[in-house]
Amino acid sequence: MGMNMPKYRLELADKEKFAVYQVIYADTDIEMWYDWNTRIQDTQFSDRCYWILRDEVRIGGAIINDGTVMYPFLISPFADRTAFWKALFSCSHDIKHINGVLQQDVSILLAFGYKLGVIRLVMCCPADDSITAVLPDGFSIHSLDETTDIITVAKILMKGYAGGIDYETYGTPDEAKAIADVQHLMKVYEHRNLSIYVFDEQEQAIAGLCIAGIYEKMPLGFAEIGELCVLPKYRNKRLAEAMLNYVRATAHEHSQVVKLCVTVGNEAENLYRKVGFYPGPRFANMSRS
């Protein structure tokens, strides 16, 4: 006699209870919040929370909304990740996108026909006013604020990122889009602006810049680095290292932590590690047509 095949189904979950299960069983803090309440609140943005049941026993859960899966997790003692994804797909046939995929699930989802998108990770380090920013002779650091020409800032970012992995992955913006992005980021950080640029005194020109600050609604008041670039002609002078150290030192008055997000494969990741940023888990977005 053959064994009965397990029966799978989805059940709408209470989002408060779902969030507790997700934070405990997800086994990772992708955003590196270091805080129970922040992680709970981060998960409670949607009512489209579902338990995944096998023979009426919960084996996991996920947010499923408009063909997109987010925050998937298995519930202990169930541990078969391949069976989990097979169960989810058998219950929901229109899944096109899966966000926040952990490395342990990438190979499984590739076997289900999903394609791997960009891989990213969040990195954090302590803000520390004992750190010194050391610049080569002839360079100085200045505040980047509303008095700085936004068009110049946008052009520097475009030159600094040209040929890099982020533009390769997401596409190169035109000047209007680059200007709008800078304006938006400066608006986000206006509550506590920590942005700076490095100035070449001899050439009377900006050599590199860092857009950073504290968003008014940022959990735990963490400081954040949104953009960092050095123009090609000024590289290998440790200007980026100096800017990172400067932000770490000046952020200390207002925040305990400085965080950023980096695309895996970006050479800047090695620099971030060098100056003390600690990486969280790698995560990816995957999709299929």
On the question of a common fold for 8-100 and 123-287, the answer reads: yes
Angle between helices 175-188 and 150-161 (to 10 degrees): 110
Both structure tokens of 66: 């408009």
Is the model's pLDDT at 160 over the cut of 90? yes
CATH label, 8-100, candidates 1.25.40, 1.10.3470, 1.20.1440, 3.40.630: 3.40.630
- Whether the upstream peptide bond of residue 281 has omega within 30° of 0, thus cis, is no
**Strands 196-200 vs 205-214: parallel, antiparallel or unpaired:** antiparallel
Q: 124 and 32 in contact (C-beta within 8 Å)?
A: yes
From the list 177, 121, 119, the residue with the least C-alpha distance to 150 is 177
| pLDDT of 103 strictly over 90 | yes
CATH of span 123-287: 3.40.630.30
Cβ distance 209 to 195 under 8 Å?
yes
Residues 108 and 82: beta-carbon distance below 8 Å:
yes
pLDDT greater than 90 at residue 169 = no
- Kindly report the pTM of this predicted structure: 0.92
Return the pLDDT at 27: 83
At 18-58, the pLDDT tens digits run 999 999 999 899 999 999 999 999 999 999 999 999 999 99
CB atoms within 10 A of CB 285: 18
4 has pLDDT over 90: no
State how far the Cα of 266 lies from the Cα of 114, in Å rounded to an integer.
23
Instruction: Give the separation between CA 104 and CA 60, rounded to whole angstroms.
Output: 16
- The residues spanned by each domain of the chain are 8-100, 123-287
pLDDT given for residue 2 in this prediction: 54
Closest CA to 129 of 218, 258, 222: 258
pLDDT the model gives residue 3: 66
Which residues are within 8 A (CB) of 75 and not within 5 positions of it... i.e. 6 or more apart?
A: 21, 25, 58, 59, 60, 61
> What whole-number distance in Å separates Cα of residue 152 and Cα of residue 166?
20
Q: Please state, in angstroms and rounded to a whole number, the distance separating the CA atoms of residues 250 and 59.
A: 47
Per-residue H/E/C for 170-190: HCCCCHHHHHHHHHHHHHHCC
Task: Please report, for residues 17, 41, 179, 184, 260, the alpha-carbon distance to residue 150 in angstroms, rounded to integers and kept in the order given.
Answer: 45, 35, 7, 11, 22
